[in-house]
Amino acid sequence: MMPLYIFLIVMNVTSFFAFGIDKLLSKSGARRISEKTLLILSTFGGSFGALIGMVLFNHKTSKAKFRYTVPFLFILYAIILLYK
């Protein structure tokens, strides 16, 4: 059970920082983290970190695939963990 929680913590921290770094890269005009990568991080356990990153950095909040997918994944993971 403990390795699962460690994995989820690592994924959420990684997702959070990925959204923050992508926001900084978007402001500087540098090459960015792909949307596919951000969604993969969210899908594989990083949805809470992604959601916090989206809100805190105001990043990808206007894109429907992020606005709906990331909260859905967060709710899904919360339900799975609640009933595990």
Collect the ranges in the chain with pLDDT lower than 50.
none
pLDDT at 81 (0 to 100): 87
pTM: 0.91
pLDDT at 46: 96
Cα gap 45→73, rounded to integer Å? 8
* pLDDT at residue number 4: 86
Q: State the pLDDT at residue 1.
A: 66
CA–CA gap between residue 73 and residue 69 (Å, rounded):
6
